[in-house]
Every structure is written in C-alpha cells, then in structure tokens.
Structure 1
C-alpha cells in the first residue's frame, strides 16, 4: 500500500499549495465577490459531472489506472494555463477544465485502496491519513512561500508536485476488472437503492459547509489583517485535526455506526461555521478550524465506507465518484455560490452564519429521517458486453 500512501500525501500536498489561494488569486485579478463566487463555484459544479463520468468509464472499461494517469496529465496543462490567465472568461474555462479532470482522482484511489483492503475497510483511514499529513506539511510551507515570493508561487508549487502524483499513480495496484459492461449501467444500479437519498443529502450539507470555509475563510482572514503565512497555518490546522479521526476511523465505525457518524459530522460542521462567524480575531479564528476533524474528517471516513457498502460489485468506483460528486460537487457548488452572494452583502462573518444555519437545519432533518429499506434487484452490472 506504499504507492497509495504516497499518492495521498503528494496529491493533498499539491492541493494545499494552490486551493487555499485560488479565491485570493481571483481577487488579485480585480474580480468582485460575486465573480469570485462564480469562479469558485465552477470547481464543485464541474466536479459533480467529472467524478461520476470518469469513474463510470473506469468501471465500465476496467482501465482505472489509465484513466487516473490521463486525467492528471490534463490537470497539469489546465493549471499552467490558469496561472497565465487574466480575464474572467479564460479563468472560467480553465477552472472548469482543471476541475473536470481533477474530480476522479480521489474516488479512483479510494476504490483501489478499499478493494485492496477487502473486508478490512476499517483500515481505510490509516491509508487516507497520509493525505492529511501531506496537506498539513504543505499548507504552512505554501503560505510562507506565497507570502515571501507572491501568489504565482502557489501555481509553481502545484505544478512542481503534481507530476510526481502521476508517477506514483502508475504504481497504484488496481483490482482486476470483473468484466466490461455498458457505460452508464453502473450508475443506474447504484441509484436503485433508496438509502442513497439521505446519504447524499448528508454529503450535500457537509460539502456546502466545507466549500464556504475552504473558499471564503482565506478571504475573511485577509480582511481581518492576517498574513499569508497565518492563512497557510489556518489551512494546515484542519488537516492536522483529521489525523486522529483517520487513524481511529475503524473504531468509530464499529462503535458508533456510519449513519450516526454522518449526522454528527454535519452538526459539528454547523458549529465550526457558527464559531467562524462570531470570532473576529485572526488567530482564534484560525484555531477554531480544528473542528474540521470531527466534522468533515468524520464525514469522509463514514461516507467512503458507506458508499462501498451500498455499491453493487463492479460499480464501486462509480459509487465513490457519486459520493464525491454530491459532496464536493453539488454541495460545494451550493456553498461557493452561497458564499459569493453573501460575502458581498454580509461580509465574511455573515457568510459563515448563514451557512451555519443551513447545516444545522440539515443535521436536524437528517437525524429525523428514517430511510426505507432497499428493494433488492438483480445485479446485472457485471454481464460482459457482446
């Protein structure tokens, strides 16, 4: 599993170098809060399309590694172009290209890891924790570099790390394909199970909250007078807070259960957003991001395990893609758009408070929801074509 751990580490290190500074980069191009919200909303919106699209192709053809390496190559090209763009139209097009090909990377790797673990899915967090470590190491370093040498270095760092992700991807072991099938068949099989409805609504709420924090916390900290170095530290704290929950994820799943973990995670996200809205000093605001671990960290551990549990054999990569599509895609899009609209009108504090109210309501509704037991249907996903 060393290639998978290396992939997690390098992939999240590359994201830590660039993603926290995208909104600030767009602002440096003279864009308004609404325009920044529109651009940042492209990332999750296109993720919603790209994750299930590419994972469905990978499952249907059995060429998971080929798909993974190919999309990373396009990501590099898109990021290079984005670093040179200055106007909103090319910025939007290149952001969409980046997001569409970045989207399947994590679902494909998570699928490979879960298949390799077999019945030991409780050990997933011990692999995924290397992503948190990669982010925790890279985020403060990227903050210092961008503070010292300027915002373009966020792109330079990303472009320096991501090629190594492609190299490691070539060594990630993928399980042998169980047989080809028509493209689109796996997604339809997954969605027959009614338990996906409350599950995906939980992911949507968590993704909305995470998007508001991820895209607008750096702007809010900047407005409060924080340096890029402090912003980098603030972006590292969430990754550090994930580590114990990733390591102990298996124990939490066994003792609490995935459904309860998902509801608690959304409630903790609401608390994180509430505190982010009422705290007005940069350092305490950065420190409260430690709640990322019991919020989104727990949501991801439980969500990945639950998606695999619900997925039919032969459609497990697309199940991971669907979870990401709704959590990081649809939820992220809603959070980005909400943040863009409210940031201009209410400022950073108001933005976080509005998002806190929504996620708190979602947690209450999801706790009261009792999903209908699924109707078992014949599994035709793995019937070979021709």
Structure 2
C-alpha cells in the first residue's frame, strides 16, 4: 500500500514536469507568432499593442478571481482544468475573426482564462513540493525547456502551414496540456485561512506592495520587448524561422540559471534583494544595447541575456513572494506578483509603450526602458538596507 502510494506520488511529480513543458511551450507558440498573425491581418503597431495589452488588463480580474477559487477549494488542478478548457474553446473562435473589434473582444475573453496559468502552475509546484527535498527550479526548468524547444520546433511548421493556420499548432498542443493536467496533484495546502480577510492583509503588507511597485518598473520595458521583438526582427529583414530562434535562445539558457539558483541561492531576503538589484542593472544594459541594434542577428544574440534578466528575476521574485505571504494564501500571493509583473506593467507597455514606439521608434523606447530599470535598481538597493532579513 505504501509502495503504491509512493509510486503514485512519483508519477504525479514526473507528470508535473511534462505539464510545465507543454503548457509553457503552448503559450510560447502563441505569444511568439500571434503579433505576426495580427500584422498579417493588417493591424498597426498601436493596435497590436492595445490588443496584446488586453491580456494584462484582464489579468487584473483573472488573477485574483482564479486565485480566490484555488485558495478556497484547495484544488489548483481543478482550477487549471477549467482555465485550459476555456482557453482552448475561445481561441478556436478568435482565429475565425478578422474585424479588430471582434478580435479584441474575443482576446479579452481568452485572456480571462490564459493569464493566470503560470502563477497557478507555480503555486501548484510550491505546494506539491513543500516538505519534500524537491526544488522549485527543477520543475520550472521544464517550462523554460518547453518555451524554447516548442518555439523553435513550431517555426518551420508555421512557415509551412502559413501564419493563417497558427491556430492548428496551438490547439494541438493545448490538447496535450489538457490531457496532462488531469494527472496533476491537487496542489492544496494543509493550512486553512479566510481568503477574503487574508487578501486584505496582503494589500496592507507594505514591504510586499513596495516590492510589487518596483517590479512594475522593471517589467514594463520587458513587456514591450516581448510584444514587439518578433515584429522588430521582421522589420530588419529577418525570416520567420529567426523569430523561432529568438524565442529559443531567450528561454533555453534559463535551465542552467534555475539549476544554479536551486543549488547556490541563499533563501534569505537580503541576498535575494541584492540579486534583484544586480539583475535590474543587467536589464538596463540590455535595453541600452537593444537601442543600438541594426541587424536581426544582434537582437537574437541579445535575447540570450533574457535567461539572466527574466530568469533570475522570476525565480527570486517567486521565492520572495512565498516569504512575504502566508502559506494558505500562496496562490493569491503568486497571482498578485504575476498581476504586477505581467498585468499592470503589460497594460502600460501595451497602451502607452506601443504608442511611444510608433511615435518615436525602437531606439528611444528601449532607452526609456533603460532609465526605468536604473530607477528600479536604486530602489532595490535602498530596500535591501531597510527591510529585515527575516519577516515574522
């Protein structure tokens, strides 16, 4: 009986790795090629930016909504199943639309189910491995592998099928993700807390709120880059397969980064805040270099630094969030962190950033991102010396 239970747990944990691989790979294919699809429909940069900003806009509603039900039901797997099912059905309809208003409305509905997937997956991993020798990074790297491998594998397929049939590739991969989701652990915690009162306490957590505000500064230029880097490559004369390579190099080197962090990172607040200050400086240097590129290969080369910038920030930010919030509200905490990183900053990048990009060009936009990251770096340095190393 005990052996059977252990075997079931082992299989469930292995399945969790494959789920991370395919769900990240599925979203990677859409996020990498969907802006190109929108450009194919004839939409301008500002229109594409506003449409892509619909995701962060809806995440303001979607993340707290789904996190509430995850915390209340203590069954993240069930919540993920509902989100993936809605994701699959709505995207089928969106790819049949061509008028901007209808596409925009359809994508808002899609984002309601799509935007919280990563934060809920992270919460499920953290809850499933709690009290075990397993490390978060050893599961999250499968997401990075999926993002990298699926983007580069899908590029020639999308080129062969043409961008009009992007939906076929996406939906096929989503079916695999749904199948794997059925075999995930529930991802609940033993602790029980009143979710409503706990969420209010979370909003009153001054340290956590400051951390989120700084994260918005850092992630806004990253969001703008993510939305338009594929179009930038195309405008510099790059082929579709180069866009796939860009996504591949952006994610594949996250794997050694996560493994190194798993092994060597000291899980205390001062160390992690110091690391975030350093990463913010690297972000600033990355955007400085991006403001001077003239060839597609230069963009692709700089995408490698994404593994250090986003990879380290995501990993450390996830752990800091788990220190800042109670265990029973971990899904809510991770969703709030995602809301800041992908939500509010994505809205700013999509609505304001895309208009600045269209008006002033890529050089000025990336230089503005460099300034934001320098400000964020200074804020993290100050925070490092003002926040205690442990919170009670």
Query: TM-score scaled to structure 1, two decimals?
Result: 0.91
Which residue, 285, 289, 292 being the options, matches 1:278? 292
Range 52-61 or range 139-148, more displaced: 139-148
From 303, 310, 316, the counterpart of 1:289? 303
1:109-148 aligned at under 5 Å gives the runs: 109-118=121-130, 123-148=135-160
Q: What is the CA distance between 1:133 and its match in structure 2?
A: 0.7
- Which stretches in structure 1 are left out of the alignment for 5+ residues? 378-386
Residues of 2 paired with 1:93 and 1:309: CA distance?
37
Distance 1:139 1:371 in 2: 42
Partner of 1:380: none
> Is there any run of 5+ residues in structure 2 with no aligned partner, and where?
1-12
1:147/1:227 contact within 8 Å kept: no
CA offsets per residue over residues 293-347 of structure 1, 9 Å max, x none? Answer: 1101001100111111111131111111111111011112212223311221122
> Which of residues 91, 101, 114 in structure 1 aligns to 2:103?
91
Contact 1:122–1:249 (Cα < 8 Å) also in 2: no
| Structure 1: distance between partners of 2:328 and 2:92 | 35
Which of 93, 97, 114 matches 1:81?
A: 93
Partner of 2:356: 342
- Which moved further from structure 2: 170-179 or 368-377? 368-377
Report how many aligned residue pairs link the two structures. 377
1:349, distance to aligned residue in structure 2 (A) = 2.8
Aligned 8 A contact 1:267 1:295 in 2:
no
Q: State how far apart, in whole Å, the 1-side matches of 2:171 and 2:32 are.
A: 15
1:254-280 deviation digits (Å, cap 9, x = unpaired): 188221222222222222222112111
Residue of structure 1 in register with 2:335 after alignment: 321
Match of 2:171 in 1: 159
Summarize the alignment of residues 335-374 of structure 1 with structure 2, pairs less than 5 Å apart: 335-369=349-383, 370-371=385-386
Deviation at 1:282, TM superposition (A): 0.6
Change (3 A) 1:96 1:81: same
Partners of 1:254 and 1:327 in 2: how far apart?
23
Q: Aligned equivalents of 1:326 and 1:171: distance in 2?
A: 30
State the match for 1:269 in structure 2.
283
Q: How big is each residue's C-alpha offset from its partner over 1:200-245, in whole Å with a ceiling of 9 and x where there is no partner?
A: 1232133212211111111111110000101110111111121111
CA distance in 2, matches of 1:297, 1:242: 6
Shift of 1:129: 0.2
- Distance change (3 Å), C-alpha of 1:22 and 1:292: same
Query: CA–CA distance in 2 between the matches of 1:121 and 1:311?
Result: 22
| Per-residue deviation, 1:147 | 2.3
SS of the equivalent of 1:278 reads: coil
Provide the alpha-carbon RMSD of the alignment: 2.3
2:266 alignment partner, SS class: helix
Alignment of 1:1-386 (within 5 A): 1-118=13-130, 123-178=135-190, 183-254=195-266, 257-369=271-383, 370-371=385-386
* TM-score normalised to structure 2 length: 0.90
C-alpha separation between the residues in 2 aligned to 1:295 and 1:201? Answer: 18
Q: 1:157: how far off?
A: 1.1
Following TM superposition, by how much is the alpha carbon of 1:84 offset from its aligned partner in structure 2, in angstroms?
1.2
Is this contact kept in 1: 2:279–2:309, CA < 8 A?
A: yes
SS at match of 1:54: helix
How many angstroms does 1:177 deviate by?
A: 4.8
Conservation of the 8 A alpha-carbon contact between 2:76 and 2:188: no
Moved over 3 A (4+): 119-122, 175-183, 369-377
* Separation of aligned partners in 1, 2:190 and 2:291: 49
